[in-house]
Amino acid sequence: MKTVKFLMIIGIISVGLLSFTKLTQTEWKVPAKYQTMKNTLEASKANIALGKTLYAKHCKSCHGSTGLGDGTKAGEVDGDLGDFSSKKFQAQTDGALFYKSYIGRNDMPNYEKKITDKDDVWAIIHYVRTLKK
């Protein structure tokens, strides 16, 4: 009987640990070539305005108006949507943001077919840079 209880306890602990690891996300590794990419657009008012329009079309439903991850579709996403205004997010290179927003992974969709002009992605990045605290 002690063996059965012991195995049940081990089983419960294992299930608990497994469910915890499913909730945590793995680090999003950005290839070196993207880490060093520079934004090809000037951070002009026109490009930031374009980025805001494109953000509203492609990003706002999940990431929210101010990039806090509180968009109308945020509840449908399993992963962490992040806080675009945080110092940690803003410290990422433009190339890293380009990779994450354009290539995607898991719940973050790939936008290579939806946004065919890469300059539009760079404009979104300029806009996202305005969301800092």
- Give the CATH number for residue 122: 1.10.760.10
In the chain, the number of structural domains is 1
Assigned domain for 9 exists = no
At 107 the pLDDT is 86
Using CB atoms within 10 A of its CB, is residue 84 exposed (0-12), middle (13-18) or buried (19+)? buried
What are the start-end ranges of the H helices in 24-43? 32-35
Residue 18 predicted with pLDDT over 90: no
Assigned domain for 7 exists = no
Average pLDDT on 59-71 reads 94
At 8 the pLDDT is 56
Assigned domain for 90 exists = yes
Q: What is the mean pLDDT of the chain?
A: 87
Residue 76 domain boundaries: 26-129
Burial 34-45 (b: 16+ CB within 10 A, else e): beebebebeeee
Among the listed residues 110, 129, 120, 101, the one whose alpha carbon sits nearest the alpha carbon of residue 40? 120
Q: Please report which confidence band the pLDDT of residue 133 belongs to, taking 50, 70 and 90 as the band edges.
A: confident
Assigned domain for 8 exists = no
Assigned domain for 45 exists = yes
pLDDT tens digit sequence for 108-130: 999 999 999 999 999 999 999 99
pTM of the predicted model as reported, rounded to 2 decimal places: 0.79
Assigned domain for 38 exists = yes
pLDDT tens digit sequence for 75-93: 898 888 889 999 999 999 9
